[in-house]
Every structure is written in C-alpha cells, then in structure tokens.
C-alpha cells in the first residue's frame, strides 16, 4: 500500500476572474445551472460573518473585473454591503473552490418588481483553493420547487443586470 502524501498548497491569487468563470457567470444557460448556489459572505454590525446564497440568475459577470449583483432589497446582506462596501463570493469551478473578494456599491433599486437592489462590484482579489490530490466537486446545491417560473424570473433579472451602468 502506498502512502498518500497530503501537503498544504497555498491558494493561487489573482486580481481578476478566469475567463471560464466569466463565461460561467455570463447570464446564459440558466436552466442548465439550476441547483448551483454561490455563497455570499458579508460582515454584520457586530463584526461577524453573515452568510447568504445567490443563484446564477442573480449575478452577471460583465468582464474579468466587474460583476453586477441583484440582492433582495430588504435583506441583511444588502444592509451589510451598503455599510461596508464589501462582499465575498465562494463557488466551485474547474475542480477548485474560488473565493472572490469584491468592493461593491449600490447602483439602483429600480427592478421591475422593486424587491431587488442592484450592486456594481469590482474584483479586489481572487483566491483559488486547489490541491493536486483531489478535485472539489460541489458546494451548496439546491432543488427548485417550480423551476420554470424561477428561470423565467432569473432571465428577467439578468436582463435588468445587463441594463445597469
């Protein structure tokens, strides 16, 4: 029996998203991405991490350094971003855990149903956690109760995110 050598590997760091991640977050193929969640972390008033989830229908990569994000207007996540101007995303992509730190500012809350706040976010840094001996396969996943109506809403939200400055 051979012994598996497990060693720590420092995360790769960058100041922009990889092209494949931009393509993944380009607002296309939403119905093929049902069930894939993106973890959002902000910091609450007491300095504690606050977790939330986004779907691919609530985030749009404009390019390698800029994202538009839709978040429920009355949520704690929105309040935290407005207060700190910071947001962190974590997602699985290409066998690794991607951690993306962003500076964000609210750009509008004029969604069609007025329940969403829109943020423009700029990539501050990216960390890719990957080891040679394993691939990350999934992060948080979910099952929609009414996929057709949710994907229809996502399509509408992505169009609104595309229209944001």
Residue 28: what pLDDT? 94
Pairwise CA distance, residues 17 & 15, whole Å: 7
2 belongs to a structural domain: no
Contact 155, 112 (CB under 8 A): no
CATH number, position 125: 2.30.110.10
Residue 164: what pLDDT? 87
> What is the number of domains present in the chain?
1
5 belongs to a structural domain: no
6 belongs to a structural domain: no
pLDDT above 90 (res 9): no
76 belongs to a structural domain: yes
| 83-92 residue pLDDT tens | 999 999 999 9
58 belongs to a structural domain: yes
3 belongs to a structural domain: no
pLDDT above 60 (res 1): no
Full residue range of the structural domain in which residue 86 is found: 12-163
pLDDT above 70 (res 165): no
7 belongs to a structural domain: no
pLDDT above 90 (res 70): yes
Pairwise CA distance, residues 84 & 69, whole Å: 16
């Amino acid at each position: 029996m051979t012994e598996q050598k497990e060693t720590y590997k420092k995360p790769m760091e960058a100041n922009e998203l990889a092209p494949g991640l931009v393509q993944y977050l380009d607002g296309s193929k939403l119905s093929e991405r049902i069930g894939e969640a993106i973890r959002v972390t902000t910091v609450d008033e007491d300095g504690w991490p606050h977790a939330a989830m986004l779907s691919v229908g609530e985030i749009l990569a404009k390019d390698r350094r800029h994202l538009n994000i839709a978040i429920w207007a009355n949520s704690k996540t929105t309040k935290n971003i407005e207060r700190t101007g910071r947001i962190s995303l974590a997602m699985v992509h290409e066998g690794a855990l991607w951690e993306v730190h962003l500076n964000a500012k609210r750009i509008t809350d004029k969604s069609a149903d007025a329940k969403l706040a829109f943020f423009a976010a700029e990539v501050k840094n990216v960390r890719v956690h990957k080891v040679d001996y394993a691939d990350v396969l999934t992060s948080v996943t979910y099952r929609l109760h009414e996929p057709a109506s949710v994907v229809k809403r996502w399509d509408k939200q992505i169009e609104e995110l595309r229209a944001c400055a």
